[in-house]
Amino acid sequence: MKRLLIIGCGGVASVAIHKCCQNSNVFEEICIASRTRSKCDALRDRLKGTTKTRITTAQVDANDTRALIALIEHEQPQVVLNLALPYQDLTIMDACLACRVHYIDTANYEPENTAKFEYRWQWAYRERFEAAGITALLGSGFDPGVTSVFSAYALKHHFDEINTIDILDCNAGDHGYPFATNFNPEINIREVSAKGSYWQDGHWVETEPMEIKRVYDFPEIGPRNMYLLHHEEIESLALNIPGIQRIRFFMTFGQSYLTHLKCLENVGMTSIKPVMYEGRPIVPLQFLKAVLPDPSSLGPRTKGKTNIGCIFQGKKNGKSKSYYLYNVCDHEACYREVGSQAVAYTTGVPAMIGATMVMTGKWLKPGVHNIEEFDPDPFMDALNQFGLPWQESFTPVLVE
Ligand SMILES: NC(=O)c1ccc[n+]([C@@H]2O[C@H](COP(=O)([O-])OP(=O)(O)OC[C@H]3O[C@@H](n4cnc5c(N)ncnc54)[C@H](OP(=O)(O)O)[C@@H]3O)[C@@H](O)[C@H]2O)c1
């Protein structure tokens, strides 16, 4: 029996699980295990009668490696798909190593008390995964994930050498709230309030948060303001795309979001340093998360589209060339299909596809690997098949 263990049952996991259930030939059995078991049970009950995939559920604290090992030994999966939070990446990798089971995630490790994400903690597992004969596939969401596969595809089919990559992430969805985040608010706010950075000629260039702004006219959406952020796929693409000179990541934000974020920062609500409140320590950002709308409640209210993709510049047969690969996703269509908005959809679908690649043996390579290190072709085909069709342009407008 082919069996997948999914850790976490939030917005992204809900989409990935719906999609596994549409692909029952690969996912004959799945176990959903998370901190709050009732959420896993509710999702299993919603899917009952709609799929051939057999679903079981379990409770687990993914910060506890021993509990994870006991769960894996009981469930006997071929692959563990980590859709909990970046804080749990290492404990889950430890448990996979102990049980010799393949590992997949969508976000790189970040210590809970330092808002700094980077790959070095997970790359330190390379030799141990290799010796155990198991594969760790890192970053199988949209960005990182699809943007990294787009880069591997562009290099394989369209360039002899890629010199620059601009990753553009536009969410033009409107949920009607003055301020809400489209995925876990704590992780989202840590990411966007950090300093920006980009890769240039072999080193990082750091910027102040939101210091670099551009306007881009996105296909099927129109002109939007976008801001340069640090983003994790830059770190691995800088190593894995030979000849690369510059990689930048831009994300769009509306004025209401930015004004609220600035105000929350100014009053200390985005801080991750504990403060004493009524005799006990609380983390302001965690308190803020508790009062903000739950991202999984945004689905029925969000209208509009996302457009996420990469613009490449480089050389083919000695000639300069530019190429734009992107996906447009409609929030309301996602909600109709799986009951979630497009930000969860665009992450959950590639998580399921990454799990398919490993489960079916198409992408097995002992060690710890970023997603662009594998053959992009079967993943690109699966994007078209499972709801994230991609489009291309050979004459894109470039970002200045
Ligand atoms: N690559 C990409 O494109 C991309 C885009 C968006 C998000 N992401 C990543 O996707 C992941 C999931 O995001 P999300 O928006 O789905 O978050 P979410 O809605 O907050 O879901 C997180 C889930 O993990 C569970 N969890 C948290 N701590 C746990 C623990 N110690 N033990 C067991 N379960 C635990 C939560 O349990 P409770 O239900 O009890 O809270 C919840 O079910 C994050 O790592 C995020 O960074 C990646």
Distance CA 170, CA 149 (A): 18
Q: What pTM was estimated for this model as a whole?
A: 0.95
Q: In terms of Cα–Cα distance, which of 185, 178, 258 is closest to 226?
A: 258
Query: Across the strands, what pairs with 250?
Result: 168, 228
Q: How far is the CA of 12 from the centre of ligand 1 (A)?
A: 7
pLDDT attached to residue 274: 94
- Cα first-last separation, the chain: 52
> In the predicted model, is pLDDT for residue 117 greater than 90?
no
pLDDT attached to residue 111: 87
Q: In terms of Cα–Cα distance, which of 316, 171, 154 is closest to 257?
A: 171
> In the predicted model, is pLDDT for residue 77 greater than 80?
yes
Whether the CB of 11 sits within 6 Å of ligand 1: yes
pLDDT attached to residue 187: 85
pLDDT attached to residue 295: 87
Q: Contact at 8 Å (CB) between 311 and 396? A: yes
Peptide bond into 144 cis (omega under 30): yes
Q: What phi and psi values does residue 30 have, to the nearest 5 degrees?
A: -130, 145
Band of residue 182 on the pLDDT scale cut at 50, 70, 90: confident
pLDDT attached to residue 174: 93
Distance CA 81, CA 357 (A): 12
pLDDT attached to residue 1: 76
> In the predicted model, is pLDDT for residue 389 greater than 80?
yes
pLDDT attached to residue 152: 98
Distant-in-sequence, close-in-space partners of 13: CB < 8 Å, separation ≥ 6: 6, 32, 34, 83, 348
Exposure class string for 212-248: b at 16+ Cβ within 10 A, else e: eebebebbebeebbbbbbbbbbbbbbbebbeebbbbb
Residue nearest to atom 44 of ligand 1 (CA): 85
Return the CATH architecture of domain 146-338: 2-Layer Sandwich (3.30)
Distance CA 138, CA 124 (A): 13
Whether the CB of 63 sits within 6 Å of ligand 1: yes
Q: Mean per-residue pLDDT for 74-79?
A: 98
Distance CA 314, CA 316 (A): 7
Other Cβ atoms closer than 10 A to 263: 12
Q: Contact at 8 Å (CB) between 386 and 23? A: yes
Whether the CB of 64 sits within 6 Å of ligand 1: no
| C-alpha distances out from residue 121 to 38, 125, 138, 177, 351, Å | 32, 8, 12, 37, 21
Decide which of 188 and 73 is more confident: 73
For the stretch 283-321, pLDDT in tens is 999 999 999 999 888 989 999 999 999 999 999 999 999
Q: How far is the CA of 10 from the centre of ligand 1 (A)?
A: 5
pLDDT attached to residue 296: 83
What value does the mean pLDDT of the chain take? Answer: 96
Tokens describing residue 264? 């929350």
Whether the CB of 12 sits within 6 Å of ligand 1: yes
Tell me the domain boundaries of the chain. 3-138, 146-338
Return the CATH architecture of domain 3-138: 3-Layer(aba) Sandwich (3.40)
Distance CA 264, CA 53 (A): 44
3-state secondary structure of 281: strand
pLDDT attached to residue 367: 98
Q: What phi and psi values does residue 150 have, to the nearest 5 degrees?
A: -55, -40
pLDDT attached to residue 183: 83
Whether the CB of 144 sits within 6 Å of ligand 1: yes
Q: Mean per-residue pLDDT for 208-230?
A: 96
Q: Mean per-residue pLDDT for 230-243?
A: 96
Pocket probe mutation, ligand 1, options 37, 57, 68, 83, max atoms within 8 Å of Cβ:
83
What percent of the chain stands above pLDDT 70? 100
Distant-in-sequence, close-in-space partners of 203: CB < 8 Å, separation ≥ 6: none
Q: In terms of Cα–Cα distance, which of 33, 29, 57, 26 is closest to 44?
A: 57
pLDDT attached to residue 193: 86
Q: Contact at 8 Å (CB) between 4 and 77? A: yes
> In the predicted model, is pLDDT for residue 9 greater than 90?
yes
pLDDT attached to residue 113: 78
Band of residue 326 on the pLDDT scale cut at 50, 70, 90: very high
> In the predicted model, is pLDDT for residue 28 greater than 90?
yes
Distance CA 383, CA 8 (A): 23
